[in-house]
Every structure is written in structure tokens, then in C-alpha cells.
Structure 1
Amino acid sequence: MAKVCVFCGGTPLTKEHVLPRWLKVALDPTVDRVRYIRLSRDGVQHHDAPPLNDQVKVVCSECNSGWMNQLEENVRKVLPDLIRGKRCTLDTEAQRALASWSLKTMLMFQHTHRREVRAAIPSSDFSTFHQLRQPTRSMLGRLGFMNYPPDDSVPLVDTLCQGYRTAELGGVAWIGTLKIGCMLVQIIRAPDVADGYELTPYEALPSLRSMWPSDAPIEWPLPAAIPHELMMALAVPEGLDVRVTPV
């Protein structure tokens, strides 16, 4: 358990709901428990819990009620539509807001995991996010569409993070994946990109769109759904396939 805020090093620490309570409006009102997936040293673990129940005590009151709360407000209008698969359009501002909120949520979910799983994301990425309050230029974000879970055999909420620490990559790298209902968001953290270079966004696919960086509106829902059976292959690929090009 953290003794100081994982973002700024401040105190006192307060409890933070990993997913905001107001997201209840996006969930099936008959659902009183949801299935979560987490990675551990022993493999993939499932557990059932009341929806929106996860809390962590790793952030200070100033961060919690300040900029973190603002990230929540920035997505409050669009997030329920994304989760339920309702029609909407995400402009550049909305995509930036979603990427920032998703990264914050992934970082908070890391502190619901065991220590060896949390280690995939270094503490420096928390402090950098506190400074920027958005993904960095060494990150890519993409948005995917999945059909709403047909029954409780498919988790409503999935959160997975795969770390890559190979010498060939030359630095820290990880892929974070967050799925809630129909919405799947990935943040791909590549080794630090040198000045004069930039990461090349992923090619647009019927079931996936680049949203960080973004340069075009996204019409939701996307024209094709990612099959639930491919969730693990998408979230935990064998390697990190990113490309760097001169600016």
C-alpha cells in the first residue's frame, strides 16, 4: 500500500473509486455483480464483485478532488454511450479526453493488482502523467469496439497490462487494455522517443481506430466488432509492434 500519493508524493491519502460511481447509468440495471479479469504471477484470475466497487488508497486528496476529478468530468457525457454502443461522434477533443481518462483509470487499476503485476508500469510514468495529465509522445492510444457482453460468461470489465522490458526495445514499454461493455481502449507505451522522431499511429481497422494522437473524428460504434475470443491475443501480444519515423 502506498504511503504517499503515487502521482505527486503528497498526503493525506484518500480512497479513489477506480471506475466512477456515476457510470452506473451505463450498465444494465439488472446487473448486481460483474466479472473482472486480472493478471497475476499465477496466470489470469477472474473474480466477481458488485459493479464499480473497486477502490484504491494511493492518491492524495488534492489530486483526487482536483485534476483527477476533472478528467472524470471531461468524459462524463460520452462514456456511457461508448460503453453501451450507442451512436455518437468523438471529435479530437473527446478523443484526447478519453485517452487521458483511460490512462488514469489503467494506472489506478494497477494498484488493485499484486506487486509483481504493478511493476509493469514504473513510478516515473505516474509522475509524468501528473505533470502532463495526458498520454505522452511515447504513447499510442486506440479505441476498439466489442459487442456488449451477451451473458456473464464474458466479463463486463477487463483490465490487463503487459510489460515489455527487453534489451532490444532499449527502455520501458507496456500495453494497457481496458474494456468496459462495448468499449475497449488500449494505451501502448513505447520506449522514449528521441527528439525529431514520432510514433506512427496504428492503421485504422473496422474494429480499431487510433485516438492518440488523433486527427479525424471517430463515428461510434465502429463498423465491426472484435470477437470476445480475441481479447487475450489483443491485450497480451507476444511483442510490441510500434514504428518510429522522423517528424
Structure 2
Amino acid sequence: MSKEHILPKWLRREFPEYTNAPTHQRTINENEGRDPHGPRVAYRRDETKNGLFNDQARVVCTGCNNGWMSQLEKRVREPLSQMIRGLPVVLTGEWQALVSLWVVKTLMVSYRGPQLGGRPTPEIILPVDPESLYRDAALGPTMVVSVSFYEPETSPGELVYAESFTRMEHEHGLYSYVASLKLGHFVAQLGRARDGVRPPLGLAPYLLPDRVALLCPGAASVNWPPAKPVYGRAGWEKHVTLPERIGY
């Protein structure tokens, strides 16, 4: 096993002004209960700290770290660095595949990393999903990635990087989750539908078409950013909060 930087070294070189920026990470477990007015949050943990590029996780093998993950970082740099800066990008089918895979890889490595501390029980991202990523180097069949544009506030204390992991418990032991990250102007969400439901239809009640662009690897080009931004910290909070009935 080898250590993998949560955020790669090329980001440090590309955005030196972010080196000491504050970061925030959140994990939430919720229950889709029968009583819509009943308690939903079963577990919640929040952490804010400085040092954007310091976190590492010994959760990937040397072959992956120096192989397809390294190649992915090289190939995704061009579209991702433009999106972080808020520059318009035409995401070709190939770029959609690269950005999607980067988002999933980054969120899964970060979730398994030690900086998260004690993970919730039950865990949000179960080992089956990272194992699938390792085996196929591709998104699983129940996953979909969307991207949005973040418009920061002008007030001090704005977070450059933030993550959110939210799991929804369904009946019969089924679950779904949404994992989100934002870096600069770039916002991405990984939606994992419960088994038996294939996205994006299973995620339709949650997605906001004027604020997100679905990434479909190999499909027609997608223009980024979407029509409306996710504005400020209040907008980010709303964007990553699951509705009362998630619908998938």
C-alpha cells in the first residue's frame, strides 16, 4: 500500500494561493423514516482546518497510485484547472469521463483517509464501491456525477475546499448516498442510487437542471458552467442537503 494525496501535487503548483486555505469536511447519516416530521439525522460530524494539500491516505496500492491514478491526474489537469478558475469549458465525452473518474476517485480516497477520524456506523461509502473502482477504473452502474459552478461570497472566511458525505437509509436494508466536493468555482457530486435503481432517472427528483450538468462519459459535449450558480455558503449548504424524500 502507498500514500495517495487527497488533492494531487499538480494542484499545489497550479494554485499556490490555496496552500493554506481552510477546508471543511462533513459526514451525515440520515434515515428515510415513515414519519416525515420525525428525527432524521442519526450521525453528524464536522471538521474545519487549514492545509489544503497536506492530507494523504494509505488506502491505495502502489500499482494503482503510480499507474492509472497517476495517468488520470495528468489527463484531467486541463479541463479541471479551468473549471476551478471558473472559466467556461466545453466538456467533450472524453473530458466528461476524466472529470467523473477524478471526482469519484478523490471522494472515495478522501473518505477512507485518516483525516475523517471515526467514520459513522453504518459507513456511508461501503468497501464494495472502492473495490468496484479498483477493479474497473470506472463509475459503478448505480453512480452518476454532476458538476456545478460555485460563486463565492465576498465576506472573509470563505472555504476554498469542502466535502460532504451524506447517506440515506431506506427500507429493507437498502441505502443511497451523495458525496460532494467544491474546489474554487468547481462543484461536483457523486450520487449513488440504491441497488435496483439505475441513474440518472433514479436521481431526477434531486438534481436541479439549471444548476447542474450531468456527466455522461463518451456522450455528446456538455457546456459548463450551468445557467445558475451555487451561490455562497448558504447555497452550498442547500446544494448538499438531501430533500425530505430523496426519491431514489
The equivalent residue for 2:134 is 130
The equivalent residue for 1:62 is 63
Distance, in Å, in 2 between the alignment partners of 1:113 and 1:164 is 19
Distance, in Å, in 2 between the alignment partners of 1:146 and 1:214 is 25
The equivalent residue for 1:23 is 11
Q: Does 1:36 align with 2:23?
A: yes
Distance, in Å, in 2 between the alignment partners of 1:218 and 1:129 is 24
Distance, in Å, in 2 between the alignment partners of 1:222 and 1:198 is 20
Distance, in Å, in 2 between the alignment partners of 1:171 and 1:80 is 37
The equivalent residue for 2:166 is 162
Q: Secondary structure at 1:241's aligned position in 2?
A: coil
Distance, in Å, in 2 between the alignment partners of 1:236 and 1:123 is 24
The Cα offsets for residues 3-59 of structure 1, whole Å up to 9 and x where unpaired, read as xxxxxxxxxx211111111013542x444411111125564221122x321111121
Alpha carbons of 1:24 and 1:150: their partners in 2 closer, same or farther (altered >3 Å)? farther
Q: Amino acid of the residue matched to residue 162 of structure 2?
A: D
**Deviates most, 110-119 or 85-94:** 110-119
Distance, in Å, in 1 between the alignment partners of 2:44 and 2:183 is 24
The Cα offsets for residues 122-170 of structure 1, whole Å up to 9 and x where unpaired, read as 01111111112121121121111012564652210011110122216x5
* Number of residue equivalences: 226
- Within a 5 Å distance, the mapping from 1:52-91 to structure 2 comes to 52-91=53-92
- Within a 5 Å distance, the mapping from 1:209-220 to structure 2 comes to 209-212=213-216, 215-220=219-224
Distance, in Å, in 2 between the alignment partners of 1:97 and 1:160 is 21
Q: Secondary structure at 2:26's aligned position in 1?
A: strand
The equivalent residue for 1:232 is 237
Say if 1:16 and 1:55, in contact at 8 Å, map to a contact too.
yes
Q: Secondary structure at 1:129's aligned position in 2?
A: helix
Structure that is richer in helix per residue:
2
Alpha carbons of 1:154 and 1:37: their partners in 2 closer, same or farther (altered >3 Å)? same
Distance, in Å, in 1 between the alignment partners of 2:63 and 2:110 is 19
Cα root mean square deviation, aligned: 2.5
Distance, in Å, in 2 between the alignment partners of 1:86 and 1:199 is 26
Distance, in Å, in 2 between the alignment partners of 1:145 and 1:85 is 7
The equivalent residue for 2:118 is 115
Q: Amino acid of the residue matched to residue 246 of structure 2?
A: D
Structure 1 unpaired stretches of 5+ = 1-12
The equivalent residue for 1:9 is none
The equivalent residue for 1:178 is 181
Say if 2:94 and 2:218, in contact at 8 Å, map to a contact too.
no
Distance, in Å, in 2 between the alignment partners of 1:159 and 1:198 is 22
1:179 CA drift (Å) = 0.6
**Deviates most, 86-95 or 151-160:** 151-160
Q: Secondary structure at 1:76's aligned position in 2?
A: helix
TM-score normalised to the size of structure 1? 0.81
Alpha carbons of 1:75 and 1:117: their partners in 2 closer, same or farther (altered >3 Å)? farther
- Seq. identity, %: 22
Higher relative contact order (CA 8 A, sep 6+): 2
Q: Secondary structure at 2:116's aligned position in 1?
A: coil
The equivalent residue for 2:2 is 14
